């Protein structure tokens, strides 16, 4: 079954314009690696050179921010949902 991953609009060009994809993995990092194997170039948009999630990218597992869980090592199970949300800046 795998994990459902919601892809933000700016990254959908890398996933064939799909807003949701399915990836395999037992942790958030493994899912990111699985996404990269399926959609080349996606990981570099999400992670820095050290493989850590970029500061301006928020990742949620079942609506919980991974920063308050176990970060990239947050365990996953089939049927979990991941949302990748880029930070939005702005204002006057």
Q: Domains of the chain: which residue ranges?
A: 3-86
Into which CATH architecture does domain 3-86 fall?
Roll (3.10)
| Residue with the larger pLDDT of the pair 38 and 92 | 38
pLDDT in tens, 12-66: 999 999 999 999 999 999 999 999 999 999 999 999 999 999 999 999 999 999 9
Q: Alpha-carbon Rg of the chain, whole angstroms?
A: 12
What confidence tier does 1 reach under pLDDT thresholds 50, 70, 90? low
**Best CA proximity match to 38, nearest among 24, 50, 53:** 24
- Classify residue 25 by its DSSP letter: -
């Amino acid at each position: 079954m795998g994990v459902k991953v919601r892809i933000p609009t700016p990254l959908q060009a890398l996933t064939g314009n799909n807003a949701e994809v399915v990836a395999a993995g037992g942790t958030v990092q493994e899912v990111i690696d699985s996404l990269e194997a399926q959609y080349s170039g996606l990981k570099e948009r999400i992670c820095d050179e050290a493989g850590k999630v970029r500061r301006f990218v928020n990742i949620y597992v079942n609506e919980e921010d991974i920063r308050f869980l176990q970060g990239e090592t947050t365990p996953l199970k089939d049927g979990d949902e991941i949302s990748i949300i880029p930070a939005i800046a702005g204002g006057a």
